[in-house]
Structure 1
Amino acid sequence: MFERFTAAARQVVVQAQAEAAEFRHGYIGTEHLLLAVLADPADPAAALLVAKGLDHDAVRAEVTRLIGPGEGHDAAVLATIGVDLDAVREAVEAEFGVGALDGPKEEPRRRGWFKSDHSPFTPRSKKVLELSLREAVRLGDKQIAVRHLLLGVLREGGGLGVKVIADRGIDPAGLRQELEALSD
């Protein structure tokens, strides 16, 4: 399916992985796809959201507020009470050897014929990718563009991405109509 994505839409998928990694989330959700769309505010689909007052920083703040960072967050919390995890690691490794706190090496996940270190897409974000193809076909477009990805987020309707949009006072149905009117 990815061969049908425009270069900009492929970049959104790559950027969604980067957004998830920045949050230290072990998955790629609809919120990461929304953040990735907004990472390029010059794209017409992103520009519609920016014109309505929803930009990358606003979505990032809302995702942080709603679900916060992933693993690694504990170190920041412990630092607030004076526990330095780096100092603890150094002390343990001095006593028991380098790597003493490292767990057993995990086997990399296998997908088909290849291994992947990327975070998995959630069922909702997988559905968004599928729906983006359906939106492109429905609109008679030969390729999946960024607007189709955003239409997929809206059509899926239950993920954090659409919640952030709606909570910002943006009407998903109205946004859908505006996205459909855009040309690629």
Structure 2
Amino acid sequence: MKQTLVIIAHPDLASSNVNRCWFNKLNQYYDQITLHDLYSHYPSRKIDPSFEQNLIENHQNLVIQFPIYWFNCPPLLKQWLDEVMTYGWAFGSSGNKLKNKKVGLAVSAGIKEADYCESGQYKYTLEQILKPFELTMNYVQADYQPLFAIYGANNEPDYPDKITQNDIEKSADNYVIWMKKLGMLI
């Protein structure tokens, strides 16, 4: 059984500076981590819930990696949650497959961190915006972990607060450190 399953939900991973860099960094730990790219695995957007549930069951930990889309997750990830986290498997009287399993989010946000605060442009922290994920994981009795995030990942050429390639590479190293601190990676 591998240590950690990383569900990657980026609609265009090849064009993503951050998520592609993270993928490449985590791929160095192929003996401990399974990287599962939802968009490449399901180009028709037809999810196989049994396959996904089996994949989760065969890992000790789960990380869900995605870019923030309209202060939420990409659509295929929402569909994945709806179709995989089912009654009788994830919750309900006999649904306990995620019970005590460590689950964390690794997200890339296009805007700067200062905009994600009470006094910022969007008035809420990223943790507050992603609270439904925490509530979902608590509902299925998973062991929800602190969020890992990078801010300023906007790809627009004229975006004033854009992070550098060096920042992205450092974030990939920090992602690994985060996973190690949580015991999701040795």
TM-score between both structures, scaled by the size of structure 1: 0.24
Larger relative helix fraction:
1
Structure with max Cα Rg? 1
Q: Flag the structure with more relative contact order, 1 or 2, with Cα contacts below 8 A and sequence separation at least 6.
A: 1
TM-score between both structures, scaled by the size of structure 2: 0.24
